[in-house]
Every structure is written in C-alpha cells, then in structure tokens.
Chains A and B, each alone.
Chain A
C-alpha cells in the first residue's frame, strides 16, 4: 500500500484579473508514512470525526476509502481557493497541515480507513422504476469516467462515488449545476445536460451500488482505534 504517490501541483499565476490563467504543473513523488498520516489526521478528525464517515444528511462527505489522488486534489484545490470552502481553507494551509509530505501522508491514512457500512442511500430501492431509470442514466452519462461500479479512478483523480452519501452527492451535483462549485469541463457539461430529477435518479442508483465487503468496517458501531485515547 505504501507505494509512492505523485503529487501534482497546479500553480495558477494571475497577471491581472483580465489576463488568461497560466497553469504550471509540477509532479513530485513522495513515499507515504501512515503513522505520520494518523497524526496529521488528528486535526481533520476534530470535524470529520475519527472514522471519516461523513453524515447521512450530506453535511460532511464520507472520506474513508476515497482515492488518494482525489483527496489530494481536493486539499490542494481548497488550499488554493479553486474549490470554495472558506471554513476548511485555513486548516489546509501549510502552517496548520504542514508541507506536501504531510498531505501525502494524511490522504494515504484516510484512504485506508474502513468505510461506513451504512452510508446514506437515495429514496428508490431496486427494482423500482426510478432505480432502473437511474441505472440507465448512470451508465449512459457517468460510468465512462466514474466506472460502472462507481469505483472512480485514482490516477485520473476521479472520485469514487461508491459508498458516498446520496445527500452529499446530490447537493454537490446541484451546486456544480448552479455554478456554486467548480468542476472540470467534462463533468460540468454532463451535469448541465441532466435535469435535477435525472441527477437524483442517477445518484440514487450509484448510492445503491454495494461497496466491496473488504472495504467496509465490521459494523456501524466500529470506532477508529487510532483515536481511542481521546474521549468520544
């Protein structure tokens, strides 16, 4: 698991507000250190909780089990203001979270955490008509990038949707559609093509794809033993 992680930094240089943005990409390689990752995660756990399972109502996403590349991209996007999250932004600054090694370590730690065995699902179980419609919409519009099982892609920094809370995905999709969250142009095009109802159907389907058992915690009452020294 401790294979090196490539860290791509997109440095955005703004000459003037009217000038085009010049992007510069540097790729660096780090070997992750899980124990340091656990220590770095301490500050994240204050809000995201030691299990990183998020909340069913979609206020917090499930981070556990997410691809390292995806987590890293979010941290850097928030750090640089490309993903708007004023509340989290100070926490991801080098003065708090540390340098690039710490970023690599913390995402490695989060990725290997067992996932929530009871994440929030959409309202339509199989074999309702809505479920089947959503399946079709998902396969036609989302599967090419996010994978037929919603598994995402670490290398390409495409989020794993499998196991993500339905309410979180729905709020993010709608935020992207209304221009409140920046996403890549391909994703943006798909989201704009689908109606709010179609998005809900597709996300209902993906929220009901089973997460491989080996990725799940044994029960919802599982508590992260790495944080057992603090009262919970």
Chain B
C-alpha cells in the first residue's frame, strides 16, 4: 500500500473516548457553538471538532474590518483556546467522507470513530446556477473576483482590491436564493462607498442584484444608497446574469451589458459537497441539502447523523447568529437522545447588524424569529424587529454582539 494511503487508513491520534464520542465536521459558527454546548449539556460527551483551517476568522463584522472600523485581531480566534476552554478536542484535518454503517469519519490525518456525527460544513459557491459550468472558468472567476463568503483569503483579496481601486466601475453582485448573510452585500456596498468618499475616489459601485428588489431592510438601504451615496452607488435590481467575459471584463444581463474594472462576484450558493459525495443530499433540492427531520436535524433514516449551520435543510436565514442559536438547541437534542430525555423544539433567531456609515460606525439591526406553519408544513418568519435607522447605538451594538458571540464560542 502506498504510504500516503496508509496514512489515511490508520486511526487518528486521539485518546480513547471516555464517553459517547460526538464528531463535529466544520469549525464555523455552528460547529464551535455545538461543541461548546454539547460539553455544557452533557459533560460525559467526548467531543471532537474538525476543521481544515488552522485558525478561525469571522466573516460577520468583516465588512467593518474592510472599512478599518475593527482590526484583524478582533475577527481572528484560536481553535485551541476554544477547545481548551470548553473541554473538547480540535483536530485540524480535511474530512474526506464518512461511513454510517461502521460510524467512522475519514480524514487526511486518519480515521475517527463516532457515536454521533454533526455535519456543519457550511456552504460552497454554485457558479453553475449563473450558467458557468466549466470548472476551469469557475476557478478563474473565484480567484480573480471572490465573493468574500467562503474562505479567508477572499477577504484579504477584497480588502486589497478596495485599497488599490483608483477609478472606474467596481462591480458587486447579489445572488438569488437563500444566500449567506442577506444584508452583507448591501452593507458592503455602503462601506465601500464610504471608503471611496474618504479617499476622494470618483468611481462607481455597480450593484447587480439577481433579486427583484433589495432582500432585507429594503427602504433603509434604498435611502442609504440615494441619500448617502447617490453619487457612488448604482443599484440595478432583477439583474440575472446572462454572460461574463473575464478578459474583456464585461458582464451581460438580460437587458444590458456592463463593463467593470474590478469586481466582487457573489454567486448563488449550495450546501457543502461533502453531503452530496456522501450520498445524503437530496438531488431535487436547489442547494443540494440533506433529507433531515426539520425539528430534530438528524437524517431521516439515521438518528446518529445531524446536519446544522448553513448546510442545514430548513429555510432559515443563513448566518452566524442563526447557527449559534440553533446549535444551542441541537446540542440539547443530541444530549436528550443520548440520555433518553425529551426536548421541545425552539426556534433559532437571526440577528443581523448592517453597517451603513463609518467614522464613527453607524449600523441598523434586524432580528427574525421563526415558527412552523402547520398549513404549509414549512417554517415561516414569525416576529421581525427591524431598526431601519443607522446610528452609533446600532454601530456599538454590532460590535457588542460580535464580542458576545466570540466570548460564547471561544472564551466563556
């Protein structure tokens, strides 16, 4: 057997579990919160969190970082600290797949056996939904004009692009469907416009929105685009992409063609390919999500395997807060299963802050609760509280919110 293969097929270096082992795939907002709350709910669990990244970088608040309102230290945190603080193990590895019969996870550092498996691998971009099928072109597009919602290198690239921009048209796209962090593309347009103003750049930010209108806090974002950044932001709704030429830097929509000098192209998204490769994705679902119990989160035919976070099947808004509040509940579900208890369904919440202006940071906020609608047999928005005025209180609240989340996942 080639040594590389032998390495994959050995047991990963972990001590023998002292209790039922829960393996969590993905150290994002869902996985980190899950690991913490599983240990809190049942100290008897042996929890292993796997992520391929060496450190955590927050995407929430990254727009404030693009605008120099918070620093990189605020966004970056150590998986080791979280694991040490909450008493679980962090394994830096790539997950290659899993076998549900023998209950094993295959990683590039060896095999890890599980009693419960939580899949929180997040999203991937799906360029095929905008008609780009060729994987070579997909990769070119991804590397040249990343969307900033998948890997941390994208954020670094985007900041450099914004800093280097001198004149012309900067294109931003807003995807259709249930994409990650509804307000973020509009928020990003606002912070970029504020930065261009600060630097005296007379460029244009062209927003091509694949939706028919702004998807969240519509009136307020329209007001911000007109009143604050009317000279800088050109917002075009219903802009379904019909063609893209990377060399000429032109983009076609159904009715128009635009040229651009630089771009952030946020395509529609889908659940991580891990689900599809493991054969648990529903081929009829738009985002290739798994068939799970909508209240209990486990696969319909396997109460040992759970899917949470932005790769979940339920239609909740995707983002950090949803993942954190959901994980607190799912940790109780898994504990209840292991200890033979009952737990009532609780709605996650989606708290969303949107920076509109900087120096000082001024933000709006929006919180959504969900309920299950017996008539449609699906989840619907319940109470929504939207503060559609941008002020310093909102700006401070957005930072306090992120601090609270980091404390929760890493330090307390």
Quick check: A91 and B404 within 8 Å, CB to CB?
yes
Quick check: A55 and B369 within 8 Å, CB to CB?
yes
Interface size class of A (residues with CB under 8 A): 20 to 34
B344 interface hit (Cβ, 8 Å): yes
A90 interface hit (Cβ, 8 Å): yes
A49 interface hit (Cβ, 8 Å): yes
Q: A180-B40, A230-B386 are in contact. Are A43 and B393 (CB under 8 A)?
A: yes
Q: A46-B365, A231-B388, A232-B385 are in contact. Are A91 and B345 (CB under 8 A)?
A: no
A80 interface hit (Cβ, 8 Å): no
Please report the total number of B residues contacting A with Cβ < 8 Å. 35
Quick check: A86 and B411 within 8 Å, CB to CB?
yes
B103 interface hit (Cβ, 8 Å): no
Nearest 5 A/B pairs, CB to CB: A86-B407, A90-B400, A86-B408, A87-B404, A86-B412
**Cα distance A180–B412 when bound, in Å?**
12
Q: Which chain B residues lie closer than 8 Å to A231 at the CB level?
A: 219-220, 386-388
A114 interface hit (Cβ, 8 Å): no
Q: Mark B214-243, 1 if CB is under 8 A from A, else 0.
A: 000001100000000000000000000000
Q: A46-B351, A47-B367 are in contact. Are A167 and B385 (CB under 8 A)?
A: no
Quick check: A57 and B345 within 8 Å, CB to CB?
yes
Query: Which residue of B is nearest A45, CB measured?
Result: B385
For the complex formed, measure the closest distance between the CB of B19 and the CB atoms of chain A, giving whole angstroms: 16
Q: Which chain B residues lie closer than 8 Å to A118 at the CB level?
A: none
A147 interface hit (Cβ, 8 Å): no
For the complex formed, measure the closest distance between the CB of B352 and the CB atoms of chain A, giving whole angstroms: 10
**Cα distance A163–B150 when bound, in Å?**
44
Q: A46-B385, A46-B387, A59-B346 are in contact. Are A89 and B397 (CB under 8 A)?
A: no
5 more CB-based (< 8 A) A-B contacts, given A46-B367, A49-B367, A96-B396: A46-B351, A59-B325, A88-B404, A167-B344, A231-B220
Q: A42-B393, A96-B396 are in contact. Are A84 and B385 (CB under 8 A)?
A: no
**Cα distance A49–B349 when bound, in Å?**
12
**Chain A residues touching B, majority SS:** loop
* B residues whose Cβ falls under 8 Å from a Cβ of A: 40, 219-220, 324-325, 344-347, 349, 351, 365, 367, 369, 383-389, 393-394, 396-397, 399-401, 403-405, 407-408, 411-412
Query: Which residues A52-93 have CB closer than 8 A to chain B?
Result: 55, 57-59, 81, 84, 86-91, 93
A37 interface hit (Cβ, 8 Å): no
Quick check: A96 and B400 within 8 Å, CB to CB?
yes
Can you list 17 A-B pairs, Cβ within 8 angstroms, ordered by A?
A: A43-B393, A58-B346, A59-B346, A86-B411, A86-B412, A87-B401, A87-B404, A89-B412, A90-B404, A91-B400, A95-B396, A96-B396, A96-B400, A230-B387, A231-B219, A231-B388, A232-B385
Q: A86-B412, A232-B384 are in contact. Are A46 and B397 (CB under 8 A)?
A: yes
Query: Which residue of B is nearest A81, CB measured?
Result: B412
**Cα distance A90–B40 when bound, in Å?**
21
For the complex formed, measure the closest distance between the CB of B379 and the CB atoms of chain A, giving whole angstroms: 13
